[in-house]
Structure 1
Amino acid sequence: MSDRYELFLTCPKSLEGLLAEEAAQLGLQEVREQVAAVRGQGDLETAYRLCLWSRLANRVLLVLGRFPVQNAEDLYQGVLAVDWHDHLMPSGSLAVEFSGHGSGIDNTHFGALKVKDAVVDKLRSADGVRPSVDKVNPDLRIHLRLDKGEAILSIDLAGHSLHQRGYRLQQGAAPLKENLAAAILIRAGWPRIAAEGGALADPMCGVGTFLVEAAMMAADMAPNLKRERWGFSNWLGHVPALWKKLHEEAQVRAEAGLAKPPLWIRGYEADPRLIQPGRNNIERAGLGDWVKIYQGELATFEPRPDQNQKGLVISNPPYGERLGDEASLLYLYQNLGERLRQACMGWEAAVFTGAPELGKRMGIRSHKQYAFWNGALACKLLLLKVLPEQFVTGERRAAGEGDRVTPRAEPARLSEGGQMFANRLQKNLKQLGKWARKEGIQCYRLYDADMPEYALAVDLYGDWVHVQEYAPPRSIDPEKAQARLLDALAAIPQALDVDPAQVVVKRRERQSGTRQYERQGSEGRFTEVSEGGVKLLVNLTDYLDTGLFLDHRPIRLRIQREAAGKRFLNLFCYTATASVHAAKGGARSTTSVDLSKTYLDWARRNLSLNGFSDKHRLQQGDVMAWLAEDRGEYDLIFIDPPTFSNSKRMEGVFDVQRDHVQLLDLAMARLAPGGVLYFSNNFRKFQLDEGLESRYAVTEISAETLDPDFARNAKIHRAWRLTTR
């Protein structure tokens, strides 16, 4: 066998340049970058050194050969030509990983099978002994990459991916792989800072991956020093004496590094469930004297290294995956920027983010940015210098003459558009707040796309702010739309003087079927609000709608005033808020019908919250079918149907424009003499069938059912009053 090999190192996409530099430093020659890989030339000692010391590679592949492939038989013969007796015993085990396609081989499983067959056929002994397949811990892991008609056949010297250092047995919800964390630290300048004796702090450290990787770099510890099983462990070409020499040299370096006074490396994590797993990871890495983790909220983060030294703050904030994450993430980034400005003056900072637009909201200019991929997610590493000249926000200085002045962060400065939005909110609050206080109204709409470029609805629910973003038309640049949303979210807490944690954001798009009623989250957090003397439960986080349609407030209050002694029927009742008002108004009985068990359970809670349990029926069913079967008589009926519904639990499809005549005829058949039916819907193009006026007394009351908070949006709904002639 040759003393010089072609070596192929794989890595996460975007790490190729860093890996090429690292591999060259570790002895690889003729280094060339490829997508998610680096190739070069080196002897077996170089290959071992790369396995032991590479902080960035996933695998170290030793190339056995390259050969052309036009069909499956070429693939088989090319693999068969290798003298596999130099690599694996006939009684050994193997695993094959195949990638690429072409040459009539478009199925990787089929390609792997052909490779395995060739190796097994080559090694099958006269007495029938042949290698077995072990996909987990084989004696030899074989790679074949098919690329443009060429097969590249290799053996994997690493075994399991090199990013699996062995210390992180416990991890959080969305951990960075160890080699990506190492790459971020290198780009952030940590090797330089560590060499100068600097400190490192991670204010959102999770289970401590950044901390451990940073400490291993600072202590000159080979990242895979503690790995016991390698891809070459049972390879027949393995030279144990050479490996032992390199491993012992690395051990001596690690012992010398750990004997030095440890650098100040600290992590802080708000989630108490991650503290012990993080500490366990640190102990497994052998770095308990170097790294400490404490429980602490970001808002209180303040690194206090010994002797007032400076260093690097590194962070990987959450990216956000569910509806409404924009608000919490915006305020998280703002808070991070505020803590950096207040507590980390003179430090360097590195923020790894999947939402670069949010990075701009920290109030500190980044002097350099690097593009990374975290799996399939495009990310940016923002490098910052925490110095006043880099601050986008202003400073407040509070000190007497001659005192040492310490900058203090102001609230995030709003953009010009954000300030205009804040001004409009404050203007509306001044006008509508006076009306709401006078009427005893706790929940109302404060803003509804008053400024076209800020297409939001902002509703107040007591101390909470519920924001709905209307999906922008396709003609609007998504980046501009996102920037405007973030401008608005930055303005809301300042303009309304509310805690950012009390702001919930959702996106409202064109809905089909029952999507607007589907669950969006699972926090299960209900908030009690009051309206017209009744208490109601709203859920601001889990559904697109909150359980309380604010625009129907006047109709609900009208029902309360008219309900005394009457039998009330509420169709498509949703959370039965109108039924609660009817009960409050002295209704003799209420019947509430809806198809959703979830919302009927919510309705039951609303009734119970107000002490109404007797004489108040909740009926689950398709309203049209229920009406056709019901023989009850009602004095007051309220119908607020969806525009469209195709629930699996109902027969057929409900379309309010097509089906409203049948719906109203069925309901009016249940209306007692002298009774009143209120019908409302929010379909903008709805036209009431003219034929209804020939059978019933019909009066449109839309204008009477709009309070001042919806006066700017007169088309929010339309409503009619129907009685028998």
Structure 2
Amino acid sequence: MTIQQFFATCPKGLEGLLMTELQSLGFDDLRETVAGVYFSASLKGAYRACLWSRIANKIFLPLGRFEVNSAEDLYDAARSIDWQQHMLPTGTLLVDFTGSSNVIRNTQFGAVKVKDAVVDGFRESAGARPSVTKQDPDLRINARLNRGHVTLSIDLCGDSLHRRGYRTKQGAAPLKENLAAALLMRAGWLEIAGQGGALIDPMCGSGTILIEAAMMALDIAPGLDRAGFGFERWLNHDAEAWAELRHEAQSRYREGLTRDIPEIRGYDADRKVLFAAESNISLAGLDDFVRVVCKPLSEWVRPTHKALDCGLILTNPPYGERLGEQEALKGLYRQLGDKCREHFEGWKLGVFTGNPDLGKSLGLRANKRYKLFNGSLPSELLLINVEPSQYVNAPPAELNKPKPLSPGAEMLANRLRKNLKQLSKWVKNNEISCYRLYDADMPEYSAAIDIYGDYVHVQEYAAPKSVDEEKAIARFEEIQAAVPAALGVDHEHISFKQRRRNRGKDQYQRQSEQRHPLIAVKEGPATLLVNLWEYLDTGLFLDHRPVRQRIAQMARGKRFLNLFCYTATATVHAGLGGARESVSVDMSNTYLKWAEKNFEANNLSTAKHQLVQGDCLQWLQDCREGFDLIMLDPPSFSNSKRMEGVLDIQRDHVAMIDRCMEILLPGGCLVFSNNLRSFKLDDEIGARYAVENITQQTLDPDFKRNARIHQCWLIRAV
């Protein structure tokens, strides 16, 4: 049995846990390094690591390490490996490239260089070449560049091992499965369970901690229900060894289901996120072992249906990013500490937070702290023995309740309630879930407040320089107080931003260091994905709702072009409206990836509905295709470095419209829109084409107060 060296990767901060886990799986010759552990094993042993590791992200089989002083060195390194030992010339491959150096500055360039070397080698030796695919390739190659050397490896896993297969739905800020497993290990869950102790998560979200805990207690292999592994189509795959390991894991699974494990229970105030938890629990096959209940933290007590004398409380509460959020969350943390002292003395408490300072509000002293990362965010796991010796004198939770609203905040809250009442009939009758509630109705509170289903998005416009800075800060704090009070929305479901004028690529830059998942909202038949925290814009311009609906009505059987497509929400409506095919063009890769997710959410094929990255003006000039329906919604101004020259919509709109009309098929229609308040359509356009101003028809009740939000025309050939 050949022993080889493998490399297991893991999130930063979990290397020690991964090393201990690999030792428990029977491996030796272990060497810990940053974000991973080297270990020696047979191929069957590597398969065992793929199947049983709860901490690892990937298991790699290194093929060689090479010095790289130029792009040619990288090419030569990849070319020196005999890839025919690993895949067929007619197969498919994918290259993942990480790291950079003075000569290889771009990971995409590095990946292409390695791919070219592999393909050229096959073409020269076999007269055929493999193709590249992102979906289930026969061979996945990993190239890791570090300190002037590249390591080329076979990726045995395919998708990251943290994707167990059970989590198809999630809440607002989910933990990855391997991070949840790491928290349980650090908290000593298996030892506690072995002593009959229960597990409770009072803010369980989509249930990841609960599910991982049950899988550990029941001895279920974390990789048992995965759709597949990368090694299964590798030429050197040992199918017999893999079948033997899976049979063993299935036997242990069946045996585990007969165990009498301790209580595992979760609570959350958000009924919607508990639906996701219940779905995930069911997919994991754990309905008989994990229970979740809709209950706010204020009502949380120790279960009384049976004696639970000891156990582990492990939770990942919200921790806020901004000062206002953090201040509001101090009461939540204090309440958690009070509940533990009142009902769970003798238990162990684990709190995982990205803001350890909030831990001080618990009123409990941590006896252990572990520094970890939640994605790229530095975080800590606080472990606390809930016993009198760890109690810290602190004011009761009642003192941390929200302060009464100031007169100004109360005035704003009343206006929000009034607007909500005025729009309620229209919202209900038209099944509107995303709309503008408030748009600087009161000059002293200059903000746009939008509803996105169960979430609220608040953008305060920057105060004029004439407004005193302290007064501006106070007004923003009053907005932060008034919104949750008026709308009854939990603070973690509200995004507060201060919007300022941005140019060039600034609009694409992240506004938040914390990662947030995309939230699915409904707009008619369309499911659209929004992000209320990470970027300046949310991914959905609400004022264009009627324009998108009109496009859906016009698109049946048509070929649709969407220029400056943003996240391609108009294309989604066109596709659902029956568009034969479409092309959507934008300069931003960020938005195009977002658009692709919108397509996936609505089962729209990218074969029929193409996404094109490029300068829209240049693409328009080069276009030699014809379209029945065109959406042209350019920015007012752009000086992006990716563009040639500068776009000024007032100056350039005639040339853009003329070019669109040249590629418009007979009987077709151009929908032209922009949001420059001072914009005037040139008289030449009216003289050359049939022009219909539909601006008033494209303003729903939520934007009637701001009739200059955009302008829109239908333009047809005469």
The letter of the residue matching 1:110 is: F
1:382 maps to 382
**Alignment partner of 1:308 is 2:278:** no
Q: What is the Cα deviation at residue 143 of structure 1?
A: 0.6
Give the aligned partner of residue 120 of structure 2. 121
Counterpart in the other structure of 1:61: 60
Q: State how far apart, in whole Å, the 1-side matches of 2:270 and 2:262 are.
A: 25
TM-score, normalising length from structure 1? 0.57
| Distance change >3 Å, CA 325–CA 166, structure 1 → 2 | same
Say whether 1:44 aligns with 2:67: no
| Structure 1 residues 91 and 125: alpha-carbon distance in aligned structure 2, compared to 1, 3 A threshold | farther
SS in 1 for 2:352: strand
**1:525, 1:541 within 8 Å by CA — same for their partners in 2?**
no
Q: Is the 8 A contact 1:141 1:155 kept in 2?
A: yes
Q: 1:329 is matched with which residue?
A: 329
1:411 counterpart letter in structure 2: P
Counterpart AA for 1:274? V
Give 3-state SS (helix, strand or coil) of 2:230's partner.
coil
Which letter maps to 1:225? L
- Contact residue 182 and residue 210 of structure 1 kept, 8 A: yes
Residue type of the alignment partner of 1:101: S
Work out whether residues 90 and 125 of structure 1, in 8 Å CA contact, stay in contact via their aligned partners in 2.
Answer: no
Write the deviation string for residues 536-593 of structure 1: whole angstroms up to 9, x where unpaired.
xxxx99799xxxxxxxxxxxxxxxxxxxxxxxxxxxxxxxxxxxxxxxxxxxxxxxxx
2:364 corresponds to which residue?
364
The answer as to whether partners of 2:65 and 2:149 remain within 8 angstroms in 1 is yes
Which structure has the bigger radius of gyration? 1
Distance change (3 Å), C-alpha of 1:26 and 1:444:
same
Partner of 2:229: 230
What SS does the corresponding residue of 1:307 show, helix, strand or coil? coil
**Does 1:260 pair with 2:252?**
no
Equivalent-residue separation in structure 2 for 1:189 and 1:217 (angstroms): 11
State how far apart, in whole Å, the 2-side matches of 1:161 and 1:50 are.
13
Partner of 2:19: 20
Task: Give, in angstroms, the shift of residue 349 of structure 1.
Answer: 0.7
Q: Which moved more, 1:31-40 or 1:284-293?
A: 31-40
- 1:111 is aligned to 110
C-alpha separation in 1, matches of 2:145 and 2:295: 50
Deviation at 1:649, TM superposition (A): 7.4
Question: Corresponding residue for 1:296?
Answer: 295
Whole-Å separation in 1 of the counterparts to 2:169 and 2:281: 11
Change in CA separation of 1:27 and 1:101 when aligned onto 2, cut-off 3 Å = same
* Distance verdict in 2 for CA 1:507–1:354, change over 3 Å: farther
Contact 2:413 / 2:486 at 8 angstroms: preserved in 1? no
Distance 1:507 1:341 in 2: 40
**Which stretch of structure 1 is more off in the superposition, 115-124 or 45-54?**
115-124
Report what 1:208 is aligned to.
207
In structure 2, do the counterparts of structure 1 residues 541 and 141 end up closer, same or farther at CA, with 3 Å as the change threshold?
A: closer
Q: Measure how far apart 1:30 and its partner are.
A: 1.9
* Alpha-carbon distance change, 387 to 507 in structure 1, aligned in 2, over 3 angstroms: farther
CA contact (8 A) 1:392 1:413 kept: no
Shift of 1:185: 0.7
The Cα shift of 1:16 comes to 0.9
Q: Tell me which residue corresponds to 1:411.
A: 396
Which shows bigger deviation, 208-217 or 149-158? 149-158
Residue 558 of structure 2 corresponds to: none
Please list, as runs of the form range in 1=range in 2, the aligned pairs for 1:440-589 lying within 5 A after superposition: 512=465, 516=472
Alpha-carbon distance in structure 2 between the residues aligned to 1:42 and 1:12? 22
Q: 1:89 to 1:444 in 2, by over 3 A?
A: closer
Rounded Cα–Cα distance in structure 1 between residues aligned with 2:217 and 2:7: 27
Provide structure 2 residue ranges, at least 5 long, that are not aligned to the other structure.
Answer: 415-458, 488-493, 499-542, 544-675, 679-718
* Alpha-carbon distance in 1 for matches of 2:495, 2:43: 58
**Secondary structure at 1:22 match in 2:** helix
Match of 1:666 in 2: none
TM-score by length of 2: 0.57
1:186/1:149 CA distance change after superposition, 3 Å: same
2:279 and 2:466 mapped to 1: Cα distance?
A: 49
Tell me the distance in 2 between the aligned counterparts of 1:541 and 1:118: 47
Query: 3-state SS of the aligned residue for 1:286?
Result: coil
Matched residue, 1:320 = 320
1:124 aligned counterpart, secondary structure:
helix
Structure 1 residue 128, shift from structure 2 partner:
3.9
Give 1:6 shift. Answer: 1.8
* Cα pair 1:324 1:507 within 8 Å, conserved: no
Partner residue of 2:81?
A: 82
What is the rounded CA distance, in whole Å, between the counterparts of 2:295 and 2:485 in structure 1? Answer: 27
3-state SS of 2:257 partner: helix
Q: Which moved more, 1:215-224 or 1:324-333?
A: 324-333
Q: Distance in 2 between matches of 1:382 and 1:208?
A: 20
Q: 2: CA distance between counterparts of 1:365 and 1:508?
A: 41
Provide the C-alpha distance between the structure 2 equivalents of 1:32 and 1:329, rounded to a whole number of angstroms. 41
Instruction: Tell me, in whole angstroms, the C-alpha distance in 2 between the residues paired with 1:543 and 1:173.
Output: 18
Tell me which residue corresponds to 1:672: none
Q: Which residue of 1 aligns with 2:448?
A: none
What displacement does 1:165 show?
0.6
Structure 1 CA distance for aligned equivalents of residues 238 and 176 of structure 2: 30
Query: 1:275: how far off?
Result: 1.6
Which residue is 2:184 aligned to? Answer: 185
Task: Indicate how the Cα distance of structure 1 residues 518 and 199 shifts in structure 2: closer, same or farther if over 3 A, else same.
Answer: closer
Find the residue that maps to 2:232 and give its secondary structure. Answer: coil
- Displacement of 1:70: 2.2
Relative to structure 1, the CA distance from residue 124 to residue 306 in structure 2 (aligned partners, 3 Å threshold; closer, same or farther) is farther
Q: Give the number of equivalent residue pairs.
A: 448
- Would you say the 8 A contact 1:338–1:362 is kept in 2? yes
Q: Deviations over 1:29-73 (max 9, x none)?
A: 221222211112221122111100110111001111112222222
SS at match of 2:169: coil
User: What whole-Å deviation, never above 9, does each CA across 1:176-208 have from its counterpart, x for those lacking one?
Assistant: 111111101111110111122210000000010
- What secondary structure, in the 3-state scheme, does the structure 2 residue paired with 1:110 have? helix
- d(CA) in 1 for partners of 2:116 and 2:358? 53
Q: Which residue of 1 aligns with 2:443?
A: none
CA contact (8 A) 1:102 1:149 kept: yes
Deviation per CA, 1:228-270: give whole Å up to 9, x if none: 3101010011101001111111111121111112320000010
Given residue 135 of structure 1, which amino acid in structure 2 is its aligned partner?
K
Q: CA deviation at 1:343?
A: 1.3
Instruction: Tell me the residue number matched to 2:671.
Output: none
Q: Is the 8 A contact 2:163 2:226 kept in 1?
A: no
Please say which of residues 280-289 and 68-77 is displaced more in the overlay: 68-77
Classify 1:154/1:343 alpha carbon distance in 2 versus 1 (closer, same or farther; 3 Å): same
Letter in 2 for 1:71: S
Q: Answer whether contact 1:208 1:278 (CA < 8 A) is retained.
A: yes
* Cα separation, partners in 2 of 1:338 and 1:110, compared to 1, 3 Å: same
Alpha carbons 1:316, 1:352 under 8 Å: kept: yes
C-alpha contact 1:72 1:103 (8 A) present in aligned 2: no
What's 2:167 paired with? Answer: 168
1:578-617 mapped onto 2 (5 Å cutoff): none
Structure 2: distance between partners of 1:284 and 1:138: 26
1:274 paired to 2:259: no
> Where does residue 624 of structure 2 map in the other structure?
none
Q: Call closer, same or farther: CA 1:521–1:240 in 2, change over 3 Å.
A: farther
> C-alpha separation between the residues in 2 aligned to 1:152 and 1:521?
50
Give the direction of change, closer, same or farther, for the CA distance of 1:508–1:116 in structure 2 (3 Å limit): closer
Matched residue type, 1:130: R
> How big is the shift at 1:308?
3.1
Name the SS for the 1:57 alignment partner: coil
Distance, in Å, in 1 between the alignment partners of 2:391 and 2:411 is 35
Residue 354 in structure 1 maps to residue 354 in structure 2: yes
Q: Does 1:92 align with 2:77?
A: no
CA gap 1:212/1:356 in 2 versus in 1, 3 angstroms: same
CA distance in 2, matches of 1:115, 1:462: 59
Equivalent residue letter for 1:104: V
Distance in 2 between the 1:97 and 1:133 partners? 12
